[in-house]
Structure 1
């Protein structure tokens, strides 16, 4: 038995670790660059740990000469724990496990120390000047409004994207961002941080860009770090940004002993600057690289693996891989479309209450806002849950505060402090001068009566104020659901939101969604006081859910945060067009820019491959009273599981026969009614070119060259059978 076989045999006997042939190749190929493409559930962490152990035990490499870069601190801790378990005779602290940010910080600290430049972190430390505080102040200065949490997140994402992709200042304006005055804010933000050349203010992204600059400008420093390690390993490299790749490239220039674990099919962080295209060009960067594919999935049933493998193939910018499993079949993937979105969370509760183990169940969604309805239903049913990366912005959102303030006005219309908070959201016009005079009055009378006593009011103002006064009076004592409906309709709050959305670039559907969620929470409650208490209770329950980690509780997670996790049963929810894929992804795909759509496909794929045995894909037909369409991704899955049946004529006999064709993905296919309206000549996948004669909600009549056909509109859209070919 040779040394290599002895190593693997020993680990199998000690810990039951058995590697397949590709995993063994990855462990044994120690010299030179290696790209290991690891499909979901293929055992990449075990393979990586075994490789580190092989370097130490069989090749005699000093542990301190090995650098392992992980995507997060949690991943670094997990790798250390597994290393200790597999190789108890070696101290994991001697192997340098860390995040790329930790490595960059070490470089920056030494680089600035040599130049006698001090620095202050403005991110991640509550005792320092905060990054968000600076950005809030700048937004207020340039926009004359307070920035919302959603805008702040978009702004910080914009800044991070530019730095991680190393975009030069001249091209900043080409990066899409809906935040007003975003470029002026960013430029001033950078100026503030660099105003004092002897004391820099640094955020986390600055760590990366400055570390890369340090290696470019200080050759001695670069050589010092290059000489520190003989072997470098990077994990989750599909989520590594371009500046992070640049740092790694510089570190391995001498020895080129680079081991990269990645899956281009799971690259879902382009908004952070990650780019799967880098992996596709890996051989250009490292011409002598070996590329291995770990395609065997040990996690999921055949039902899930086979469908997920076919689904991801709709993407073009990817390595040709075929994920497979030797696990048995279990249950087919379930697809449900409810009549209304409100039935979705109730259905999940019904399914979960009969589960023996909640820790084996996860509900996944694209947006954190989807979790609120679930939390409300779970709390009512007494179902414990763990909210991964809990986000309580819903409960602190300005719309929630507005609704509560409107309700408070029904109890006491003398509260000027409350009225001032909602004045600009009211569908009445009151000038600054009138408000100034109102503040000077202290007669403890109704705000509306004080306004009506003014002599300078226009007739339309008097009419508006009287209407508001009467509506607030009528709302007093109403059930909260009825009160919210009156706020939205009679007080014109919905119309106000639409105007604000046009002015500031808010997403109106998202804002209206918050109101619909509030209505769902208000349903069954008797009083507005009870409603306010319910909101506080749900916020407390969500915040406390972090203590349910590792307990028998269901996991709630976004698709992004679920990566790396696995569960016996997974429910993927809110699978409708406009959510996944999102409207921007659909629009850009229509314009033949496929990058965003391909990332949405990868995100859906990540969600699917979290499931071990049971996977359910949930959608609905109506949301907030409007018709919606299920995600085209669900349609893809449906067609993979059960290819559509078409009726064709057998050439020889002239008889009809039923066949199940595989429908290839057509990126130019019409996916929405809007695209059909006003279309000229269209092309049908089977019948060729034709002109639309008539169309209603269910059917479309088309005149083809030889005959006229009336087809199912939903089938044509869901299967991607039509495309526009010109006038």
Structure 2
């Protein structure tokens, strides 16, 4: 029996860990470069830990000579904990992030060169915080304040360029919707170099400076090369060019590098991840061994087979065939709703039937999709945990604008509120007009003051008079009516469209925010209640992070779900323009395939989070407009329902939905079938929520007041699924 076989047998006996043949090969291949391609659910972390344990326990390698680099601090800590549980008698090796490793190099490099420096990210002073510096530079260059969305895009733009190691002459080749992004970037770099007597450094600088230091200082490079004999990098599909460059320099003498990755799960090219590096691995390391961990231990046979067929849409990838020995469970489910409005309600109804919430996840492409979920799940009393609890929807400037419009309606003397939104009317008011208004200080109506005392042109005065009338009426409007008045009568929607053209905002995203606010407004009676509802949902979203280890449904973006697994997964908003995004579609039309291939990989990541139940959800209409079903949804549909001999699908999308609805629960013969029956004041009985009274029914939505809460339900869904009966 070889030493390797003895090691594996011992681990089966001691901790119950048994490896398959490919995993064993990965553990035993310790000398020279190794690319370990790990399919979803293939046990990569277990294999990594066992490989490190073999180095230490069997080969007698000193732990300080082994270095493992992970994608995040959380992953590093998780690996350290897993290692200690597998090998409690062995000292741990050094698990860290690439940034932590780079910072070691940077500190020594600066010390050797007598350079004073200050880190401007993390827990640092307000004035020298990276984001505050960028805010000031943006304001100086563009003469207006930067929005949170623009700030996020600007930091991503800067990070992308640095991680791609692009020279200054190529900065303009990187697309950005931030006005004058290149100029802002240049001023930012100059500011960091010229501040007092110290160099200012951000997280991306750690990488670029470390890479440069290892290039320039041979003594330092040799020191770090000789520090470790074995290197391992995890999640390498998410590693950037500068990160790869650092690792290459550190292993160039011994070349004992184990790279663990999955090119099919590379979903961060927008953050400068470089999946092509994996495809070119043998160009850098011709002697490298490539192993494919293709056995999935996580998901049912049906999910694995569909996901494996789906990812083969992509051509620029290693040829892998994910498989599983897990038993059959149930087919992947396809659900097509009539309207977007019914999606959150449908999900709340489906999940409310389950006893266990914590092993369920709802995944979406954009964070904005979570808002209607929060509203519906809170009304249905279903606890949830938001993976992306930093969602800034309720602090978005569009939401704040709408709240300020409503505040002004209740007190037209609020000059301070008017100052926040005066540029959002289609009235062409200037800073001089605002300055005149503030100087008056007579505590009178801002509209009367503008009309009587400011230097307005005749057409502006007419607009202000019309606006005054609208605001006086708004106090008595329902919140839905008030939002529509702001959008159309006050011209706010036209202002947003104009701003989108001038400043590069995504118009559809801004209008979606307004539409979402309208949906929320339908569950409350007055403008004041609407404001309270918005604050309540915001607080609920922020506090949901405390539900992480509770019996709660997980809401997550596809991106943030990577590495997680759940018994039941619902993938929602599966329409063209969302996934794939419109930009992905346009790039493909121009012959640029990578954006579409990344969208495919992102969808694949979502699918492979599911263990037993995977449900794909689309719809036909959104906010009164017909939408196109996602081509990815259609692809899966064709896999499940292949064309018949006469060339037609076995079941159209709508039929799939109806068939599954019937399978989920028997429809009562007394169920209401006619929408005309649903009138205000009618007592009804809902199949899940019990008895209630209809308080409103319009625009395809029926609102029912139950004993402890009210719910808005899609009429089409209720009739189709037979959810309502006449009450007593």
Q: TM-score, normalised by structure 1?
A: 0.88
Which residue of structure 2 lines up, in the alignment, with residue 320 of structure 1? 319
Show the 5 A alignment for 1:503-522: 503-522=502-521
Which residue of structure 2 lines up, in the alignment, with residue 296 of structure 1? 295
Which residue of structure 1 lines up, in the alignment, with residue 107 of structure 2? 109
Q: Does 1:26 align with 2:26?
A: yes
The DSSP-based 3-state class of the residue aligned with 1:303 is helix
Counterpart Cα distance in 1 of 2:420 and 2:500:
18
Which residue of structure 1 lines up, in the alignment, with residue 568 of structure 2? 569
The DSSP-based 3-state class of the residue aligned with 1:339 is strand
Counterpart Cα distance in 2 of 1:452 and 1:171:
52
Show the 5 A alignment for 1:492-571: 492-571=491-570
- The Cα shift of 1:644 comes to 2.2
- The Cα shift of 1:235 comes to 0.3
Q: Is the CA contact 2:475–2:527 (under 8 Å) kept in the aligned structure 1?
A: no
Show the 5 A alignment for 1:80-159: 80-92=80-92, 95-127=93-125, 129-159=128-158
Q: Does 1:45 align with 2:45?
A: yes
Which residue of structure 2 lines up, in the alignment, with residue 278 of structure 1? 277
Change (3 A) 1:434 1:32: closer
- The Cα shift of 1:353 comes to 1.0
C-alpha deviations, 1:2-54, integer Å up to 9, x for none?
21111000100111111000000000011000000000000000000000000
Change (3 A) 1:192 1:432: closer
Which residue of structure 1 lines up, in the alignment, with residue 393 of structure 2? 394
Q: Does 1:54 align with 2:57?
A: no
Q: Which is further off, 375-384 or 154-163?
A: 375-384
Q: Which is further off, 244-253 or 442-451?
A: 442-451
Q: Is the CA contact 2:71–2:235 (under 8 Å) kept in the aligned structure 1?
A: yes
Change (3 A) 1:169 1:547: same
Unaligned 5+ residue runs, structure 2? Answer: 651-728
Q: Is the CA contact 1:39–1:294 (under 8 Å) kept in the aligned structure 2?
A: yes
Which residue of structure 1 lines up, in the alignment, with residue 353 of structure 2? 354
Counterpart Cα distance in 2 of 1:3 and 1:19:
15
C-alpha deviations, 1:578-620, integer Å up to 9, x for none?
1111111110011010011100100000000000000111111
Counterpart Cα distance in 2 of 1:135 and 1:204:
15
- The Cα shift of 1:142 comes to 0.6
Change (3 A) 1:659 1:639: closer
Q: Does 1:587 align with 2:603?
A: no
RMSD: 1.4
Which residue of structure 2 lines up, in the alignment, with residue 260 of structure 1? 259
- The Cα shift of 1:288 comes to 0.4
Unaligned 5+ residue runs, structure 1? Answer: 649-657, 661-727
Q: Is the CA contact 2:332–2:614 (under 8 Å) kept in the aligned structure 1?
A: yes
Counterpart Cα distance in 1 of 2:153 and 2:104:
29
Q: Is the CA contact 1:117–1:197 (under 8 Å) kept in the aligned structure 2?
A: no
Q: Is the CA contact 1:368–1:391 (under 8 Å) kept in the aligned structure 2?
A: no
- The Cα shift of 1:550 comes to 1.6
The DSSP-based 3-state class of the residue aligned with 1:474 is helix
The DSSP-based 3-state class of the residue aligned with 2:36 is strand
- The Cα shift of 1:196 comes to 5.0
Counterpart Cα distance in 1 of 2:422 and 2:34:
62
- The Cα shift of 1:197 comes to 9.1
Q: TM-score, normalised by structure 2?
A: 0.88
Q: Is the CA contact 2:224–2:250 (under 8 Å) kept in the aligned structure 1?
A: yes
- The Cα shift of 1:456 comes to 4.9
Q: Does 1:4 align with 2:4?
A: yes
Change (3 A) 1:112 1:466: same
Which residue of structure 1 lines up, in the alignment, with residue 307 of structure 2? 308
- The Cα shift of 1:639 comes to 1.1
The DSSP-based 3-state class of the residue aligned with 2:612 is strand
- The Cα shift of 1:391 comes to 2.3
Show the 5 A alignment for 1:562-641: 562-641=561-640
